[in-house]
Amino acid sequence: MRSNRFGLKKVIAFISMVILAIVMLYPFFFMISTSLKSKAQYFGAPGHSLDSWKKLFSVLPVGKQLLNSTIVCAGSIVIILIVSTMAGFAMAKLRSKASPVIFVGIVGAMLIPLQSIIIPAYINASKLNLLSGYWGAIFVYAALGTPFATFLMTSYFRGIPDDLVEASVVDGLSYYGTFIRIALPLAVPAIITVVVLQFIQIWDDLLVGLLFIQEPAYRTITVGLGALSAGRVTDIPVLMAGSIVSAIPAVAVYLIFQRQLVNGLTAGIGK
């Protein structure tokens, strides 16, 4: 009886996972299938072709916009890592009376929706002349990603034994040296987690890039696709081809670092 029930549960779990996989993978199948059609074929003509891919590279500077997206992601993530690792180590190991208040403020910042601060952020960026290049988007992405990254790094650094930090200080290292030589190497799983999560979020975002990057030469790939679909008549196969190009880097980063991502998240939660 128990073996039958266990077997039935496995079958139900397997069927559920198959159904979930189909639901999740169908959009990718639709994108690939549609991108391999011309506009006429999309509306019912038989066959497949590469016309949409050829048209994509003729109407959109794909290489330039992929480079722009990479620059924005890299700049934002560097700022996020510098601030979050230093703040996380300070709150975890250099405790003061203000640490709990600051930590609660960081958690509260994670709960603020982007839509509620986008207008004042845009006004401030405009006054500082940050809308003509990458810096406006980079600073906004960094500000949005730093609270969660700091929360994660603080949780991870709290798992490092205090005796290890104290022994390093006794041996002659300053707290800065302990942070660089001891804490950072131990926090590599958490750092990879922050990099992967922030890369996926920033790469796929449209709103911030659309508002804070005004010049067409600095547009990211998602903003370029948004402009491509803003006309009266949208070429769906071309848009699907561009969506595939845009999705490949984020999917590749997740597939490469998925094990480190899971380890970093579970370590942060457990500690």
How many helices and strands in the chain, by DSSP H and E? 14, 0
Q: What is the mean pLDDT of residues 215-234?
A: 82
Give the per-residue pLDDT at 200: 92
239/251 Cα distance (integer angstroms): 18
In sequence order, the 6+-apart residues with CB closer than 8 A to the CB of 237 are 34, 35, 36, 37, 38, 39, 41, 42, 51, 52
Q: What is the pLDDT of residues 57-99, one digit of tens each?
A: 888 899 999 999 999 999 999 999 999 999 999 888 887 778 7
Token pair listed for 201: 């979020």
CA distance 172 to 69: 43
Q: Give the model's confidence band at 13: pLDDT under 50 very low, under 70 low, under 90 confident, else very high.
A: confident
Residues 6 or more apart in contact with residue 179 via CB below 8 angstroms: 85, 86, 89
Does residue 101 register a pLDDT over 50? Answer: yes
Contact 189, 153 (CB under 8 A): no
pLDDT, one tens digit per residue, over 122-146 is 999 999 988 888 999 999 999 999 9
* The CATH classification of domain 51-270, taken from the options 1.10.10.10, 1.10.287.130, 1.10.3720.10, 3.50.50.60: 1.10.3720.10
What are the Cα distances from residue 9, in Å, to 4, 16, 23?
A: 9, 10, 21
Chain segment 20-46, per-residue pLDDT in tens: 999 988 988 989 999 998 888 888 888
Closest CA to 220 of 186, 189, 250, 257: 250
- CB-count burial class (<10 Å; 0-12, 13-18, 19+) for 258: exposed
pLDDT at 162 over 70: yes
